[in-house]
Amino acid sequence: LVREMGELDAAFIEGRPSPLAALPVQYADYARWQRESLTGEVLAAQLAYWRERLGFDPPVLDLPTDRPRPLAESYLGARRSLDLPAGIGDALSALGREHGSTLFMVVLAAFQSLLRWWTGQDDLTVGSPVAGRTRAEVEGLAGLFINTLALRADLSGDPSFAVLLAQVRETALGAYAHQDVPFEKLVEELSPERSLSHSPIFQVMLTYLNVPREEFAAEGLKMTPMGVASGTSKFDLTLSVRIDGERTILDLEHSTELFDPATIGRMSGHLVRLLESALAEPGRRVAELPLLGLGEERQLLEWNSTAAAYPVEPCLHELIEAQVERAPERVAVTSDGRTLTYRELGSAADRLALRLREAGVGAESVVGVLAERSLEMVVGLLAVLKAGGAYLPLDPEYPAERLAFMIADSRMPVLLAQERLLARLPEHGGRVLPLEDAAEPGEEVARPDAETGAGAGSLAYVIYTSGSTGRPKGTMNSHRGIVNRLLWMQERYGLGADDRVLQKTPYSFDVSAWELFWPLLTGARLVMARPGGHQEPDYLARTIPEEGITTMHFVPSLLRIFLETPGIERCAASLRLVVCSGEALPLELERRFFERLPGVELHNLYGPTEAAVDVTFWACQPDDPRGLVPIGRPVANTRIHVVDRELRPLPVGVPGELLIGGIQVGRGYLARPDLTAERFIPDPLSGEAGARLYRTGDLARLLADGAADFLGRIDHQVKLRGLRIELGEIEAALSRHPEVAQAVVVVREDTPGNALLTAYYVPTGEAAPGAADLRAALRAELPEYMVPAWFVPLSGLPLTSSGKVDRKALPAPEGGRAGGREFVPPQGPVQERLAAIWAEVLRVERVGAHDNFFELGGHSLLATQVLSRVREAFDVELPLRVIFDISTVAGIAEAVMQKELERADDELLARLLSELESEPAQGEI
């Protein structure tokens, strides 16, 4: 075009006719040729090639975007250009020649290496245009000949850059040889799954322009190419490489809906670094080629420089003892109207510690504590520490079998128990010391801490968490770790003598460790919620103002329900600080919090049981414009790393596994060296001998300010209402049932906002065991929250092409309601009222007499709501267990009526008695 314009211009100025020769063929001829030639065997052969290359839908390239991908693309875009440093272009061409490849192929191999790093995907398809002028006749023709080739790479074999380059060469040559099928035709033929949110087959493109610029030869006229900002982007990302004389220019056209300019800036920096690394060491594994810029490396180090000189050498109980000495007469703990001063708490714990010492407890002994929330529980836990041992919570809510397993697995020499709970324990060989009188006044005894041999590195507590292989695992934490965590918390949030901290988290969760011990370190007051109170929003709403609670914890799921509880405005009078942790804190919940409790601080903390409660923190801000709630920055003496599969640090924005390093990393799993070695790996960066990194299995990315953003899990661990569950453990338990051959458990959210555990199982015989059967079997082994709501029998499990269970293909539980159970209307006023309460709490349209609470989406938090409404409606108090034991409207109605009868009897008796007393003389009754 440029050449012909020049020739025409020159001719017309001189009044000559067009000097151009007549065209040998026109575009229409080309179109006709294409239609006629691309048929039959030729077409079939070309299509067969592409079907073989792309037949199984290439996976969508999951680029880490700055914003969620919109449902429909708008194609809004921008472009960012940079010049490759001088000489690199030539050096890359030379590298290509050495490997029988072109510069284009070298750049494609580098681009695919970059995409692998950014997406974590090995199967990568990149589109690339070809000129399509394969015949001399059409070379000079104006018109659209361009076609697009989909170049698929497989990086799964951990190739070196040179090996990848050879693969890319093969792929490109094969594609060129089959370039005649128009891409549109190919899409039609392969009919990949279509979506408005991304283009089919590939989502990123590489274009390579090396067209020698034609000189424009016209008198008195000059032609200068001008870049045009189209404001569009055809794909998620298009990398164009342009050679212009000495310059090699990279353009990154990108969707502005998906990416911020800064992200594209970082990405082009990585590409340049990668090209340089590949040039320097083409024989090196792609997975090892350095990509991070030096500035980025420095930045990551800086975000992790959290060193703080805390006095972490004393043990936890020694720090509490120091507080006892500072203010012995101050109230330390209250529970159900009873109190202990610091002196009383300290000496009660000393007395019990002495008995534990006599029973052989010392450094590294694990001591089980079976107790409900009470003064005795606090004394018991402190006593174990004072005796030099580590406490292991034996949550009385857990089924006997699970407690038995924990007792056996941890080989405890002795355990502390409230005697009334002992019935919950199965037979076990251990010795039991009673807790009943632990909080009673008694004589002062000498403190045993000095001679126990326990130090900062000793075991402080062991908490069992769900285990993916079917058995729970005991997580070990040292004094030093938890002490660091508590001292950090004190430095950060400063608890004072007037503060009151509510202890409501079950002590089988590590959050309880800060609830219990932070106030006791600092002279604040520890207020024990009543047993079960942690699941009762009404109770909490009453207790907070009554007790003047200033500081407390919420799991987001409970916070959500709590914030909708009437009357919580009254909590804002005393409440100063709310800490969330345990599961993701959604943005809209953060907003609702500031609406309902203005002036109260909200903090989002994150951390696994394996690393002393929490390792990152974030102060929530009302009106934060960032549109998400991060988990924040590492706490003191703690480092976090977001890494790829090769455990290499990833840059800002790119998701990877979160690893934790530093003082709070736990000591591993009790008596599980294999699992410990797998998850607690050597920390090469720390510079300390023996230092470990904990692999969390959490997926996260770093934000531009260094705060981490939690994205989910990379395995089958889930959090359901803040409770940590390995789906594999439920599957293993279910598979142990004699009539179950195979089982898979997933979390489904068929009703928005109500995620439920759903079990799919293949029965061994003809008749499938029923849901009630299976539920009962699981309840004997697993905590209530791990028992699925739904049990769906299948004749076989759906499998993916690679033979794994295809979790996405599992069917929705049938019938939309209680396993397709027939609707039986509730009968009588009590059933009707109950059904109405269920319908309201469970947000379902109607509830039948025989519907099962759990199958309708019920769980323990909702059960407590049902009970508080039952209390209001019938004036009867039912224990939470009732719902788990009976679970149907008809059954619970019976329990209500039974209670009403008992009450009526009591009232009648009382009235008779009082009448007897008031009219004794007449004696007529």
Q: What is the spatial distance between Cα 145 and Cα 738, in angstroms, rounded to a whole number?
A: 66
The answer to whether 119 contacts ligand AMP (rule: CB under 6 A) is: no
* 50 close to 175: Cβ distance less than 8 angstroms: no
**With respect to Mg ion, which residue has the nearer C-beta, 50 or 680?**
680
Q: What is the spatial distance between Cα 125 and Cα 115, in angstroms, rounded to a whole number?
A: 10
Query: In the complex, what is the shortest distance from the CB of residue 235 to Mg ion, in angstroms, rounded to a whole number?
Result: 41
**With respect to ligand AMP, which residue has the nearer C-beta, 353 or 390?**
390
> What are the Cα distances from residue 140, in Å, to 145, 223, 273, 299?
11, 20, 39, 53
The answer to whether 724 contacts ligand AMP (rule: CB under 6 A) is: yes
Q: Are strands 638-643 and 633-634 parallel, antiparallel or unpaired?
A: unpaired
Q: What is the spatial distance between Cα 467 and Cα 797, in angstroms, rounded to a whole number?
A: 23
Q: What is the DSSP letter of 58?
A: P
- SS3 for 690? coil
Phi, psi of 504 (to 5 degrees): -130, -15
515 binds, among ligand AMP, Mg ion, none (CB under 5 to 8 A by kind): none
698 binds, among ligand AMP, Mg ion, none (CB under 5 to 8 A by kind): ligand AMP
Residue facing Mg ion at closest CB distance: 607
Query: In the complex, what is the shortest distance from the CB of residue 605 to ligand AMP, in angstroms, rounded to a whole number?
Result: 6
The answer to whether 464 contacts ligand AMP (rule: CB under 6 A) is: no
Phi, psi of 644 (to 5 degrees): -90, -175
- Kindly tell me which residue out of 259, 518, 554, 606 binds ligand AMP, with binding defined by CB under 6 A: 606
The neighbour count for residue 308, using CB atoms within 10 Å, is 14
- The window from 177-185, 452-460, 575-583, 894-902 that contacts ligand AMP (CB under 6 A) reads 575-583
Query: In the complex, what is the shortest distance from the CB of residue 723 to ligand AMP, in angstroms, rounded to a whole number?
Result: 7
**With respect to Mg ion, which residue has the nearer C-beta, 77 or 607?**
607
Angle between helices 727-735 and 771-779 (to 10 degrees): 110
- Kindly tell me which residue out of 389, 448, 472, 608 binds ligand AMP, with binding defined by CB under 6 A: 608
**With respect to ligand AMP, which residue has the nearer C-beta, 613 or 830?**
613
**With respect to ligand AMP, which residue has the nearer C-beta, 518 or 761?**
518
Taking CB under 5 A as the rule, which mask of x and - marks residues 594-613 in contact with Mg ion? -------------x------
Taking CB under 6 A as the rule, which mask of x and - marks residues 641-680 in contact with ligand AMP? ----------------------------------------
Task: Record the tokens describing residue 18, joined without a space.
Answer: 């067009």
Q: How many Cα atoms sit within 13 Å of 109 on the Cβ side?
A: 35
Query: In the complex, what is the shortest distance from the CB of residue 504 to Mg ion, in angstroms, rounded to a whole number?
Result: 15
719 binds, among Mg ion, ligand AMP, none (CB under 5 to 8 A by kind): ligand AMP
- Kindly tell me which residue out of 119, 171, 248, 465 binds ligand AMP, with binding defined by CB under 6 A: 465
The answer to whether 583 contacts ligand AMP (rule: CB under 6 A) is: yes
- Kindly tell me which residue out of 119, 410, 418, 581 binds ligand AMP, with binding defined by CB under 6 A: 581
- The window from 227-235, 404-412, 540-548, 598-606 that contacts ligand AMP (CB under 6 A) reads 598-606
Q: What is the DSSP letter of 480?
A: H
Angle between helices 860-874 and 828-842 (to 10 degrees): 140
Q: Which of 505, 410, 146, 110 is nearest to 277 (CA)?
A: 110
Phi, psi of 745 (to 5 degrees): -125, 135
Query: In the complex, what is the shortest distance from the CB of residue 147 to Mg ion, in angstroms, rounded to a whole number?
Result: 54
- The window from 303-311, 600-608, 847-855, 880-888 that contacts ligand AMP (CB under 6 A) reads 600-608
Q: Which of 163, 159, 188 is nearest to 50 (CA)?
A: 188
Q: What is the spatial distance between Cα 13 and Cα 16, in angstroms, rounded to a whole number?
A: 8
**With respect to ligand AMP, which residue has the nearer C-beta, 276 or 515?**
515
Total residues interacting with ligand AMP, rule: CB under 6 A: 18
**With respect to ligand AMP, which residue has the nearer C-beta, 217 or 747?**
747
Task: Record the tokens describing residue 133, joined without a space.
Answer: 């002028």
The answer to whether 582 contacts ligand AMP (rule: CB under 6 A) is: yes
- Kindly tell me which residue out of 172, 561, 584, 882 binds ligand AMP, with binding defined by CB under 6 A: 584
Query: In the complex, what is the shortest distance from the CB of residue 618 to ligand AMP, in angstroms, rounded to a whole number?
Result: 8
The answer to whether 632 contacts Mg ion (rule: CB under 5 A) is: no
Q: What is the spatial distance between Cα 465 and Cα 392, in angstroms, rounded to a whole number?
A: 12
Query: In the complex, what is the shortest distance from the CB of residue 470 to ligand AMP, in angstroms, rounded to a whole number?
Result: 18
**With respect to Mg ion, which residue has the nearer C-beta, 371 or 463?**
463
**With respect to Mg ion, which residue has the nearer C-beta, 331 or 612?**
612
- Kindly tell me which residue out of 565, 696, 860, 888 binds ligand AMP, with binding defined by CB under 6 A: 696
542 binds, among ligand AMP, Mg ion, none (CB under 5 to 8 A by kind): none
Task: Record the tokens describing residue 645, joined without a space.
Answer: 């599969």
Residue 899: Cβ-neighbour burial (10 angstroms; 0-12, 13-18, 19+): middle
**Residue 476 β-bridge partners:** 462, 668
Q: How many Cα atoms sit within 13 Å of 594 on the Cβ side?
A: 13
- Kindly tell me which residue out of 710, 760, 853, 874 binds ligand AMP, with binding defined by CB under 6 A: 710
If phi > 0 it is left, if psi is from -120 to 50 it is alpha, else beta; for residue 380 that is alpha
Angle between helices 511-522 and 479-493 (to 10 degrees): 70
Total residues interacting with Mg ion, rule: CB under 5 A: 1
Q: What is the spatial distance between Cα 252 and Cα 258, in angstroms, rounded to a whole number?
A: 13
- Kindly tell me which residue out of 458, 604, 831, 865 binds ligand AMP, with binding defined by CB under 6 A: 604
Q: What is the spatial distance between Cα 585 and Cα 486, in angstroms, rounded to a whole number?
A: 22
Task: Record the tokens describing residue 338, joined without a space.
Answer: 């009873």
Q: Which of residues 785-844 bind ligand AMP (CB under 6 A)?
A: none
3-state secondary structure string, 717-748? EEEECCEEEEHHHHHHHHHCCCCEEEEEEEEE
The answer to whether 631 contacts ligand AMP (rule: CB under 6 A) is: yes
The neighbour count for residue 801, using CB atoms within 10 Å, is 7
**With respect to ligand AMP, which residue has the nearer C-beta, 223 or 675?**
675
724 binds, among ligand AMP, Mg ion, none (CB under 5 to 8 A by kind): ligand AMP
- Kindly tell me which residue out of 160, 458, 609, 758 binds ligand AMP, with binding defined by CB under 6 A: 609
508 binds, among Mg ion, ligand AMP, none (CB under 5 to 8 A by kind): none
Task: Record the tokens describing residue 269, joined without a space.
Answer: 């920096």
- SS3 for 578? strand
604 binds, among ligand AMP, Mg ion, none (CB under 5 to 8 A by kind): ligand AMP
Query: In the complex, what is the shortest distance from the CB of residue 582 to Mg ion, in angstroms, rounded to a whole number?
Result: 6
Q: What is the DSSP letter of 570?
A: G
Binding-site ranges for Mg ion (CB under 5 A): 607
- Enumerate binding residues for ligand AMP (CB under 6 A): 465, 510, 581-585, 604-606, 608-609, 631, 696, 698, 710, 719, 724
